[in-house]
Structure 1
Amino acid sequence: MHTLADQVQVRRGFLSPKTTGYLVLYSVVIIWAGFALTLRAISTSGLTTADVALIRFAVPVLALLPAFSSRFAEFKKLRLRDVLMVLCGGLPFFFIASAGARTTSAVHVGALVAGTAPLSVSLVYFLIDRRRLPRRQLLPLSIIIAGALGLIIAQPAGIDPETLRGIGYLLVASLFWGIYSVGLRSSGLDAIGNGIVLAVGSLVMLVTLMLTGVVPSHLDSITLHQAVPFLLIQGLGVGLLSTVGYAFAISRLGTAKSATIGSLAPALAAILAVPFLGESITFSTAISVFLITVGVILSNRSAT
């Protein structure tokens, strides 16, 4: 029961805590959908994958670095295995997902990476801990597999080797995201701590690769106009706001409701790809994305 003080505080506030949670969560879903779109846009932007990755990880490092000292004791307690698993969701995931995006579509990126994540998490848990799949997860994961197969097969011009290779990259990226998710749960890191470990570790790896010439860069010829979309979506949006915002939404709405609404990101990416990237959605593609979305929603509900 709310006390009189609680009631007064709610009345004085412009928005209730639950309404604020919904607003933040829907913003996070839009950012996640934008992630798929910007990966597809790299090849036509004049930036290299390394340039966009630099933006993706440098922005949260600059924003979260002041919190590093207060969490240093917590970081020292982390197991090396957990740190390495968390880092799989950083630079390795970004490069693999970007490679897949080059020869597929934003629909593929959103659906095959985020949409198959529950399947990847279950696989990682089985490989590491021999944890068997709960029966309640069989139906949701079967629906996800059916949707993913439908999306792969439903190519208007057939499946060419380049598209098939890109789909393979996206599925591997999903597996890396599953490793990251399991490592994050095992580490016990909160949103800020996770953001610091992920961004700092990935930035160190990336700068090393760039300085040694392993990955190409066009930093010397990039204009502000070219960089702004990636600064907003990848750096500020995905790198910082979605990480902190999703944790905030969970604190206001709970894990189950937040995960269910978050499952809408693949479908939203498919819709936004039409006006922003000129992609088309066939009926079979729409059905496949719908099945994946339903499967993810059911998987999130049965897992909580």
Structure 2
Amino acid sequence: MTTTIMTPTSAWPATSRLAGWAAIAVAVTIWAGFALSIRAIGVSALAPADVALIRFGLPVLILAPWLASRLPALRRVRPLDAALVTLGAGLPFFFTASWGGRLTSAAHVGALIAGTTPLSVALLAFLIDRTAVSRARGRALALILGGVALLVAGQGALDGAALGGAGLLLGASLMWGAYTLGLRRAGLDPIGCTLLLCLPSLAALGAMIATGMVETRIMTVSFTEILPFLVVQGLGVGVLASLAYAAAIARLGPATCAAVGSLAPALAALGAVPLLGESLTPMIFAGIAIVTLGVFRAARS
């Protein structure tokens, strides 16, 4: 049984679908920065809760003028769809991804979250909506996963801690797949989707900070140290990528957006070389090429 509310992808005119491709390109580029910034939390003076506060607080602050006009639509969102969005990319996702990133590398963050999200979306779409995967898309997903495996293997042997980190990142991928489906099912515009994600996350985080459940150091850190996270996590991931991804899903559908999102690991792996001093091997280059081919085939299937 199909529960999609928004207009089917095929109903969008060509110009609108072109806007969808532009939107997903923006989101993928920013996600590469997300993978790098998640890895950078471990070497920064900020606690993970501080970065989460930036991630969810800045979008609420920027989009607050539109809250009143979106409240009626937000109240109409079904509980399951709201849970898919808020749990899939909210605090549970953020803390799982940041914890996994501390134990692995930026390349692993990108590969094991964005790289495996197409499989997560396909699995959850089957479980929730009974949506089958075509043979052509199945072959494309197999290519993407093969490339992801090379990206992971190219980082060298995983010790016990890194294996645990990889498991956390795979869990974050499943959450992100839920978020991807939830965006389409919620029937909200991009601003509404972003508010649905950030408002509950910010409220829960505020309660956790007030009760001492999580550590915060943001009041003792200089603005210079906070600024990169404001730009990447708050403005980039929190506002621009959230709006762009919601717009892209409305026009292209969750399966296509998840497949194209698999390009983020390639960008993250390349960016980690000059920014974080991580190395690239021939195996990683091969993984990037295979992921790119799989994304191309998935987008055409």
TM-score range, shorter chain: 0.7 to 0.9
Larger Rg: 1
Match of residue 127 from structure 2: 127
User: 2:6 aligns to what?
Assistant: none
**Normalising by the residue count of structure 1, what TM-score does the alignment of the two structures yield?**
0.84
Provide the rounded CA distance (Å) in 2 between the counterparts of 1:186 and 1:23.
22
The residue number in structure 2 matching 1:138 is: 138
Q: CA deviation at 1:296?
A: 2.9
Alignment of structure 1 residues 153-302 onto 2, 5 Å:
153-156=153-156, 158-246=157-245, 263-302=262-301
Q: Distance in 1 between matches of 2:17 and 2:135?
A: 33
> Contact 1:115–1:296 at 8 Å: present in 2 too?
no
Q: Distance in 1 between matches of 2:20 and 2:158?
A: 42
Aligned-partner Cα distance in 1 for 2:79–2:120: 21
Partners of 1:65 and 1:226 in 2: CA distance? 26
Specify the code of the residue in structure 2 equivalent to 1:95: F
1:120–1:178 Cα contact (<8 Å) kept: yes
3-state SS, counterpart of residue 131 of structure 2: coil
* CA-to-aligned-CA distance 1:228-270 (integer Å, 9 cap, x gap): 0000000011111122345567899999998776553221111
Partner of 1:100: 100
Which 5+ residue runs of structure 1 have no aligned equivalent? 1-16
Q: Secondary structure at the match of 1:44?
A: coil
Partner Cα distance (2:137, 2:205) in 1? 37
TM-score (norm 2): 0.85
Query: Hey, what does 1:7 align to over in structure 2?
Result: none
Letter in 1 for 2:57: A
Kindly indicate whether the alpha-carbon contact (under 8 Å) linking 1:87 and 1:180 is maintained by their aligned counterparts in 2.
yes
2:115 touches 2:261 (CA, 8 Å); kept in 1? no
CA shift digits 1:190-212 (9 cap, x unpaired) = 21110011010110111111111
Change (3 A) 1:103 1:183: same
Evaluate the alpha carbon distance shift between residue 20 and residue 147 of structure 1 in structure 2; reply closer, same or farther with a 3 A threshold: closer
Distance in 2 of aligned mates of 1:186 and 1:249 = 14
| Distance change >3 Å, CA 182–CA 251, structure 1 → 2 | closer
Give distance in 2, aligned partners of 1:231 and 1:295: 33
Matched to 2:94, the amino acid is F
3-state SS of the aligned residue for 1:217? coil
Percent identity of the aligned residues?
A: 48
Contact conserved, 2:114 with 2:261, CA < 8 A, in 1? no
> Cα distance 1:174–1:249, how it changes in 2: closer, same or farther (>3 A)?
closer
Letter in 2 for 1:174: S
Separation in 2, partners of 1:178, 1:22: 19
- AA in 1 matched with 2:41: I
**More deviation, 289-298/93-102:** 289-298
- Structure 2 residue ranges without an equivalent (≥5): 1-15
- Distance in 2, Cα, partners of 1:18 & 1:121: 20
Does the Cα contact within 8 Å between 2:81 and 2:186 map onto a contact in 1? yes
CA distance in structure 1 between the aligned counterparts of 2:19 and 2:196, rounded to whole angstroms = 27
User: CA, structure 1 residues 128+40, in 2 after alignment: closer, same or farther (shift >3 Å)?
Assistant: same
State the 1:145 CA deviation: 2.2
Give, as a single letter, the amino acid of the residue that structure 2 aligns with 1:142: A
**Aligned 8 A contact 2:115 2:263 in 1:** no
Q: CA deviation at 1:32?
A: 1.6
CA shift for structure 1 position 40: 0.5
Count of residue pairs brought into register by the alignment: 286
